[in-house]
Structure 1
Amino acid sequence: MELFAQGLVAIMQPGTLILMIAGTAIGILFGALPGLTATMAVALFLPVTYGMKPAMGLAVLIALWIGATSGGLIAAILLKIPGTPSSVATCFDGHPMQEKGEGAKALGVGIVFSFLGTMFSLIALVFIAPPLAKVALSFGPVEYFAIAIFSLMLIVSLSTDSMLKGIFSGLVGFVFATVGIAPVDAVLRYTFGTVELTSGFNTLCVLIGLFAISEVIKTAESSKLEGKAEIAQVTRIKGFGFTMKEFMSQKWNFLISALIGTGIGILPGIGGGTSNLVAYMVVKKSSKYPEKFGTGIIDGIVASEVSNNASIGGALIPLMTLGIPGDAVTALLLGGFMIHGIAPGPMLFVNYGPLVYTVFAAVFVSTLLMLVLEFAGIRIFVKLLSIPNYILLPIVFVLCVVGAFGLSSRIFDVWSILLFGAVGYYFVKFKIPQAPFIIGFVLGPMAETNFRRGLMMTDDSFLGFFESPIAAVFMGLTLVIMLWTIYGEVRKKQSILRSGD
C-alpha cells in the first residue's frame, strides 16, 4: 500500500495528470471513431513519450489504452459499428437498445461496467503480478526459452483460423527480428552492407507501420472514406442510466465476464478482441433467457464491456512479470519501457518497484478519468463521429511519419514504417493474422538468445532443456497444443471435403 500511495502521488503531479486527462480523451475518440483502434492510438503517441520521464510516459500510454478500449462502445451502440475489435459483441444488444429508444441506458450500462471490469483486472494485476514475479526470479535461460516457445505456439493456435497462416506470420516476424547484430556472438546478419540495418529494425517503427499505416491504407481503399451521414442522437442520461435493481441483477454476469476477460488477457496474443465474444457466448448459454440476447438487453452489453476491459489488467500480468506482451497494445507498451531503458520482467519488481506501482496507480486513475470523461463528454464524442475519414486519415498518416522520424532523426525510420505498413496491408488482404508477426518479432530474439545460452549451460545438449521441471512442463504443453491444433486443422479439412462431396 505504501508503494501504491507513492505511485498515486507520482500520477497526481499536475503535469502528469493533465497529460493523462488528454490521453484518456484522445483514447476515447480513437475508440469511438470507426477505423481507429486502441493499438493505433498507442502506436501513434508512443514517440511522443520519448522525451518524458518513464512514469509520465507510461501513464499517458495506459490512459490512451483504457480510453480507447472503452470508447469503442459509443459507435457500437449508436451506429452498430464496433469502434474497436473489443466492442464487436457490444453491437449485438447495444444497437437494438438504441433503436428502442434506450440508447442512453445502453451507454450508461456500458460505461459503468467498463469501469468495473478494468477495476477487477487491476485488483487481479496487483495480487497476481508480484508473487508471479518472485517465482520468475528463479527462471534461467532454459525456462525463458520454453515460455517463449509456448507463447508463440499459443498465439499461432488461438489467434487465427488457419494454423499455417499463423505459423507463416510468426516466422516472418522472427525473420525481420534477425536483421542486425546476432546475440551472443555479435555476427552481422542480413544487413547487405547497409549501415542503418546494423542495429536492426526499430521496434516502434515496426509497430507503427504494421498497425497504424496499414490501417490507414486499408481504410483508404474501402468505402468508409465517405464518412457517416447520419449520427444518432443521445438523450440526457439521468444518474447512470439504470436502476440499482438492474445493476444487482448483473452480479453473476459481471463476475463470469470479468474472470473470462482477465484469463484471456493473460494468454499471450489474444486480448479483448476475443474475450468480448467468448464472454458474450458463455453468458448467453448460461442465461435463463438466451432467446432475448440480440434483441436489446443489458446482459449482452455487460458481458462484452466487462470482459474486454478486464483483459487490460490480464494482459499486463505476463508483460510486467515475464517481459512477454499479452497482446498488440502491450507489445507497444513493451516498446514504451524499452525506449526508457527499462526491461520488463521479474527484475522490474526488484529494480523499479516504485515504477511498477506507478503503473498500477496509472491504471486506477485512468479508469476513473474514463468514467468521468465518457459521462461528461458523451454528446461531444457522438458529434465527432461525423468527421469523414478522408479528413482524419491524412492527419493520422502525417503524425505517424513525424513520430517515426522523431525517434532517431533518421529518414530510414520513415521508410521502415512504410515498409511494415505495406506488410501489414497485405497481411490484411490475404487474411494473415498480424498478432503472430509482432509477437514473433518481439519474442523471437528472446527465444533465440535464451536457446543459445541454454545450450551453453547444457553442453550443447537439447535434452538438458527437459531437465528443468518448469521448462519440461511448458515444452510438453507446447507439443500438446501443436498436436491438438494440427488435429483440428485435419478435421476441418475433412469436413470441408465431405461437404463438397
Structure 2
Amino acid sequence: MDLFSNLALGFSVASSLANLAFCLIGVLLGTLIGVLPGIGATATIAMLLPITFQLEPVSSLIMLAGIYYGAQYGGSTTAILINMPGESSSAVTAIDGYQMARKGKAGVALACAALGSFFAGSVSTFLVALFAPPLTAIALQFGAAEYFSLMVLGLVMSIALAHGSILKALAMVVLGLLLGMVGTDIYTGTPRFTMGITEYADGLNFVALAVGVFGIAEILRNLEDEHAREVLTRQVGRLWPTMAEFRAMAGPVLRGTGIGSVLGILPGGGAVLAAFASYTVEKRVSKNPAEFGHGAIAGVAGPESANNAGAQTSFIPLLTLGIPANPVMALMIGAMIIQGIVPGPNVAAEQPALFWGIIASMWIGNLMLVVLNLPLIGLWVRLLTVPYFILFPIIMAMCSIGVYSVASNTYDLYAVAFFGLLGYGMSKLRCEPAPLLLGFVLGPMLEENLRRAMILARGDATTFVTRPISLTLLLLAVVVLVAVLLPTIRKGRDEVFTEGD
C-alpha cells in the first residue's frame, strides 16, 4: 500500500505543469542529442549543469533524467536510417536496423525500437519504484565502514566493465581520486594540491571538469573527424509491425528488458553493456543466427529494450545509495550537490516529493517519447544536414557561459580548457574518461568514510573486515578484480568488446 501512496505522491509532483514542461524539454532535447552523432547525453548534461542551478531541484533532475533516457531513443533513429549511431548504446542497433532500412523496412525497425524501448522503460521504472525503498532501508543501516567498502566495490566494477585496457581504466580511476583530493582537508583544514590558488580551496569545480572532459573534448574529436553525412532519402514506409513481426519481437524485448534491468544497476555498466549483452544473447538463442547482420528484427528489439532498461535502472544505486552507476549518474549527483541535496538513502525520507517525483516522471517521459518520436522522424533526420562548423562555436560559447555562471570564477574557465585538452589527449591514448569521473565523484566520499571509520574504530583497520556487510562488499570487490584479471575471462571480455566495436 505504501508503494501506491508513494507513487500517487510522485505523479502529483511530476504532473504539475512546470514539471511536465521540463520533462518534455528533457526528452525532446535528449532525442535531439541522441540523433546528432558525436554529442551524447553525458556531454549535454555536463553542459546543462550550470542552468539547473537556477531551477527547482525536482524540475532540474526530471529534465536531466529525461535527457538521459531520451537519448537512448534518439540514438536508434540515425542508427537505423543512416547507419550512424547517435549514441554508443545504439551501435548494436545499427547492425541489423540499417539492413532492415535498406530492405524497405525502416518504419518497422523504428517502431520496433520505439515500442521495445517504451515497454522496457515502463517495466524497469516499475522495478526502480519496487526495489528503491527496501534498498534505501538497508542503506540506512550502513556506517562509514560499509560506505567505504561499497565505494571500493563501485570503483572496482567501473574498472572491470570499462572498455579496453584494464590498466588504463585503473590509471583513470587513480587520476580521478587524485583530482578529487584537491582542496581543503576536511578534518585539518589544510590546503592540498591547490598550487597556492585560493579559488581551488573548495576543490576543483565538478561542472568544469565534466564539461571539459566530456563536452569540449567531444567537440575537438568531432572537428577532427568531421565528414559529410549521407542521409537516407527513401520513404520510411509503414510503421506498424505485422502480427508475425510482433511475435518475433516479443521474446527479444522481454529478454532485453531483463538483461538491461540487471546490468543497468552495475557500476560502469548501463545502457552500452546491456545492448551488447542482449545482442549476444539473441544471436545465441536464435534458431537462425545467420540472419543476424542482415536485418534480423531481434537484433533491433533486444538491444533497444536492453539499453533503455539499463538507462532506467541505473537510477537505483543513485537514489538509494548515492552511488553513480555510470558517468551520467555521476553528473546527476553533481546536479543534486549544486542544489544543496546530499545524495544517499536519506533523500527518500527527507525529500519524498523529489524522490518519487523523479520516478513517476520516467513513466510520463517514456509515454511522451513513444508518442512524439515516430511523427518527428523527418525533422530529426533533416537536422543531420546542419554543418558541424556552425554547431560547435555555439556549443563552446554555451559551455563557457554556463561554467562561469556557477561561481563567477575565472579559474573555472581555465579548468574547462585544461580538462578539455586532457580529455582529448585521453581519447588519443584510448583511455576512457568515465572511470576518471567516477573516481573524482567518489574520491572525496571514499576518503571521508575511510577516515571516519578509522576514527570511530580508534585506528583499528580491522573494522572493515569485522563488520559483516563491509566484509561482504570487500570480498565481492576482490572476486570481481580476480575474475577480470584471469587470462581466460579477460580474453573473452576483450573479444566481446572487439566484436561490439
TM-score by length of 2: 0.94
Where does the alignment leave 5 or more consecutive residues of structure 2 unmatched? Answer: 496-501
State the alpha-carbon separation in 2 of the partners of residues 39 and 77 from structure 1: 22
Name the SS for the 2:254 alignment partner.
helix
Residue 219 of structure 1 is matched in structure 2 by 222
State the alpha-carbon separation in 1 of the partners of residues 206 and 324 from structure 2: 13
Instruction: Indicate yes or no: 2:191 matched with 1:188.
Output: yes
> AA paired with 1:338?
I
Task: Report how far residue 492 of structure 1 moved.
Answer: 5.4
Equivalent in 32, 37, 55 of residue 52 of structure 1:
55
> AA paired with 1:248?
R
Residue 452 of structure 1 is matched in structure 2 by 451
Q: Assess if the C-alpha contact under 8 Å between 1:104 and 1:234 holds in 2.
A: no
Residue 423 of structure 1 is matched in structure 2 by 422
State the alpha-carbon separation in 2 of the partners of residues 234 and 337 from structure 1: 45
Q: Assess if the C-alpha contact under 8 Å between 1:124 and 1:313 holds in 2.
A: no
Task: Name the stretch that deviates more: 368-377 or 437-446.
Answer: 368-377
Residue 84 of structure 1 is matched in structure 2 by 87
State the alpha-carbon separation in 2 of the partners of residues 234 and 19 from structure 1: 34
Task: Report how far residue 187 of structure 1 moved.
Answer: 2.1
State the alpha-carbon separation in 1 of the partners of residues 490 and 302 from structure 2: 31
State the alpha-carbon separation in 2 of the partners of residues 46 and 241 from structure 1: 38
Task: Report how far residue 248 of structure 1 moved.
Answer: 3.3
Task: Report how far residue 76 of structure 1 moved.
Answer: 0.3
Task: Report how far residue 401 of structure 1 moved.
Answer: 0.9
Q: Assess if the C-alpha contact under 8 Å between 1:43 and 1:207 holds in 2.
A: yes
> AA paired with 2:138?
V
Q: 1:69 to 1:492 in 2, by over 3 A?
A: closer
Equivalent in 185, 190, 201 of residue 204 of structure 2:
201
State the alpha-carbon separation in 1 of the partners of residues 68 and 484 from structure 2: 31
Task: Report how far residue 3 of structure 1 moved.
Answer: 2.7
State the alpha-carbon separation in 1 of the partners of residues 415 and 234 from structure 2: 43
Q: Assess if the C-alpha contact under 8 Å between 1:184 and 1:452 holds in 2.
A: no
Q: Assess if the C-alpha contact under 8 Å between 1:42 and 1:332 holds in 2.
A: yes
State the alpha-carbon separation in 1 of the partners of residues 215 and 195 from structure 2: 28
State the alpha-carbon separation in 2 of the partners of residues 259 and 356 from structure 1: 24
Q: 1:492 to 1:306 in 2, by over 3 A?
A: closer
Task: Report how far residue 489 of structure 1 moved.
Answer: 8.6
Q: Assess if the C-alpha contact under 8 Å between 2:483 and 2:489 holds in 1.
A: no
Q: 1:401 to 1:489 in 2, by over 3 A?
A: farther
Name the SS for the 1:466 alignment partner.
helix
State the alpha-carbon separation in 1 of the partners of residues 406 and 363 from structure 2: 29
Name the SS for the 1:376 alignment partner.
coil
Task: Give 1:124-163 correspondences, 5 Å limit.
Answer: 124-163=127-166
Residue 78 of structure 2 is matched in structure 1 by 75
State the alpha-carbon separation in 2 of the partners of residues 378 and 487 from structure 1: 46
Residue 235 of structure 1 is matched in structure 2 by 235
Instruction: Indicate yes or no: 2:461 matched with 1:462.
Output: yes
> AA paired with 2:155?
L
Task: Report how far residue 36 of structure 1 moved.
Answer: 1.4
Task: Name the stretch that deviates more: 137-146 or 180-189.
Answer: 180-189
Task: Give 1:429-440 correspondences, 5 Å limit.
Answer: 429-440=428-439
> AA paired with 1:160?
H
For residues 65-119 of structure 1, give each alpha carbon's deviation from its aligned partner in whole angstroms, at most 9, with x where no partner exists: 1211110001100111111101010011100011111111111111111111111
Q: Assess if the C-alpha contact under 8 Å between 2:173 and 2:439 holds in 1.
A: yes
For residues 34-80 of structure 1, give each alpha carbon's deviation from its aligned partner in whole angstroms, at most 9, with x where no partner exists: 11111122112221111111111111111111211110001100111
Instruction: Indicate yes or no: 2:346 matched with 1:347.
Output: yes
Instruction: Indicate yes or no: 2:2 matched with 1:4.
Output: no
State the alpha-carbon separation in 2 of the partners of residues 64 and 160 from structure 1: 24
Structure 1 vs Structure 2: percent identity of aligned residues? 33
Name the SS for the 1:199 alignment partner.
coil
Q: 1:120 to 1:491 in 2, by over 3 A?
A: closer
Task: Report how far residue 483 of structure 1 moved.
Answer: 2.4
State the alpha-carbon separation in 2 of the partners of residues 481 and 20 from structure 1: 37
State the alpha-carbon separation in 1 of the partners of residues 340 and 489 from structure 2: 45
Residue 124 of structure 2 is matched in structure 1 by 121
State the alpha-carbon separation in 1 of the partners of residues 21 and 137 from structure 2: 34
For residues 229-285 of structure 1, give each alpha carbon's deviation from its aligned partner in whole angstroms, at most 9, with x where no partner exists: x311363664x4212442233322222111111111100122112211111011110
Task: Give 1:83-482 correspondences, 5 Å limit.
Answer: 83-222=86-225, 224=226, 226-228=227-229, 230-233=230-233, 235=235, 238=238, 240-482=239-481
Task: Name the stretch that deviates more: 168-177 or 9-18.
Answer: 9-18
RMSD: 1.9
For residues 344-385 of structure 1, give each alpha carbon's deviation from its aligned partner in whole angstroms, at most 9, with x where no partner exists: 211111111121110011111111111112122111111111
Task: Report how far residue 341 of structure 1 moved.
Answer: 0.8
Name the SS for the 1:51 alignment partner.
coil
Q: Assess if the C-alpha contact under 8 Å between 1:41 and 1:68 holds in 2.
A: no
Q: 1:491 to 1:92 in 2, by over 3 A?
A: closer
Name the SS for the 2:486 alignment partner.
helix
Q: 1:177 to 1:481 in 2, by over 3 A?
A: same
> AA paired with 1:140?
G
For residues 309-341 of structure 1, give each alpha carbon's deviation from its aligned partner in whole angstroms, at most 9, with x where no partner exists: 001222101111111111111111111111111
State the alpha-carbon separation in 2 of the partners of residues 76 and 490 from structure 1: 30
State the alpha-carbon separation in 1 of the partners of residues 491 and 295 from structure 2: 34
State the alpha-carbon separation in 2 of the partners of residues 490 and 262 from structure 1: 23
> AA paired with 2:173?
G
Task: Report how far residue 491 of structure 1 moved.
Answer: 7.4
State the alpha-carbon separation in 2 of the partners of residues 26 and 259 from structure 1: 27
Q: Assess if the C-alpha contact under 8 Å between 1:227 and 1:387 holds in 2.
A: no
Name the SS for the 1:462 alignment partner.
coil
Residue 482 of structure 2 is matched in structure 1 by 483
Task: Name the stretch that deviates more: 93-102 or 369-378.
Answer: 369-378
Q: Assess if the C-alpha contact under 8 Å between 1:94 and 1:103 holds in 2.
A: yes
Q: Assess if the C-alpha contact under 8 Å between 1:4 and 1:357 holds in 2.
A: yes
Q: Assess if the C-alpha contact under 8 Å between 2:248 and 2:297 holds in 1.
A: no
Where does the alignment leave 5 or more consecutive residues of structure 1 unmatched? Answer: 497-501
Q: 1:365 to 1:456 in 2, by over 3 A?
A: same
Task: Report how far residue 456 of structure 1 moved.
Answer: 1.1
State the alpha-carbon separation in 1 of the partners of residues 155 and 136 from structure 2: 21
Task: Report how far residue 405 of structure 1 moved.
Answer: 1.0
State the alpha-carbon separation in 2 of the partners of residues 302 and 234 from structure 1: 22
For residues 386-428 of structure 1, give each alpha carbon's deviation from its aligned partner in whole angstroms, at most 9, with x where no partner exists: 1121111221111111110111122221111111111111111
State the alpha-carbon separation in 2 of the partners of residues 118 and 315 from structure 1: 12
TM-score by length of 1: 0.94
> AA paired with 1:174?
L
